Structure 1
C-alpha cells in the first residue's frame, strides 16, 4: 500500500503513461488529494476580502478561482486518465473501459465498481513487455 506522498509522486512520474498497472492505493490517494485541492480552491472564493463601494462583501478570490481551477484541472487531466487506465489494468480490464464513464450515471457507476475491485494477477498482461535483445528498429525508418 502506497502512502499519499508516494502515490502522488508515482502518478506524476508516470504523467502520461497508460501502460502498466496502478494499485488501489495509488488511484484513491491521488483522487482524494485532487478532491481536497479543488475543495480548497472553491472555498477560497468564499473568503470576503472587504466591501465594495455599495457596502456588499467583495470576494476578490473569485477571480483567482476562475483562473487557477481550470489551469489545475487541465494540468491533472492527463495523469488522471492515465492512472484510471492503469487502475483498470490492475483489475484486469482494458483501459478502454474508462470510456464507459461517458455514459451518464450507469457508466460512471460501472467504472467506480471496476476501480474498487482488488488487484488481479491476470492484469500482468498489461505490464510492459521486455524488449527482445538484438531486435532494433533504429536506422530502419520504423520508429
Structure 2
C-alpha cells in the first residue's frame, strides 16, 4: 500500500471501527501525520515570532499573550483546532482497526484501546504510561493475525 492509498483509506474508513488496517496502512499515516505535525510546529513558531510572541519576554503572562494575538494567528489556531478535531475520529478508528488486524479477540481490542486512551488522557508522564505505550507499540507492530492463535487472547481461541 502506498502513502496515497493509505490516505484515501484513512478518510474512507472515517467511522469504521470494525474492519482491519494493515501495518502499511497504519504506519504510512503515522509517518504522514508526523511530517505534518513538524511542519505545523515550524509554521506556528514562525507566525508567533512574527507576531512578537517571544518566550524571552518574561513580562508576558497568559492574559497578555491572549490579548496581543494577531488576527492571522488567531485564525491559524482556530483552523488548527478544527483540523485536529476532523482527524481525531479517523485516527482512533485506524488504531482500533490496526489492533484488530493483529488477531486479538474483540474484547481485548477494546480493552487495549480503552487503556491507551485513558493512559493518554490521565497519565501523560510516568512509568505506567511508558509501559502502556510500549505494549501498544508492540501490538501495532505485529503482522496480520500474529496473535490470532495465541491462547486466551487470540481471536481464534475461545
Equivalent residue in structure 1 for 2:98, among 68, 71, 87: 87
Check the 8 A contact 1:7/1:27 in 2, yes or no. Answer: yes
Structure number with the higher helix fraction is 2
CA RMSD, aligned part only? Answer: 2.8
- 2:23 maps to 24
Shift in Å, 1:70: 1.5
Higher relative contact order (CA 8 A, sep 6+): 2
SS at 2:20 equivalent = coil
| Structure 1 pair 8–50 and aligned structure 2 pair: CA distance change class (3 A) | closer
1:100 equivalent in alignment to 2:91: no
Distance in 2 (CA, whole Å) between partners of 1:108 and 1:82 is: 18
Structure 1 residue runs without a partner (length 5+):
126-143
- 2:79 maps to 68
- 1:8 maps to 7
Name the count of aligned residue pairs: 120
- The TM-score, its normalising length taken from structure 1, stands at 0.71
SS at 2:45 equivalent = coil
Equivalent residue in structure 1 for 2:140, among 88, 93, 115: 115
Structure 2 residue runs without a partner (length 5+):
58-67, 120-128, 150-154
| Structure 1 pair 42–68 and aligned structure 2 pair: CA distance change class (3 A) | farther
CA deviation profile, 1:55-86 (whole Å, cap 9, x unmatched): x9x99564344222221111111101111111
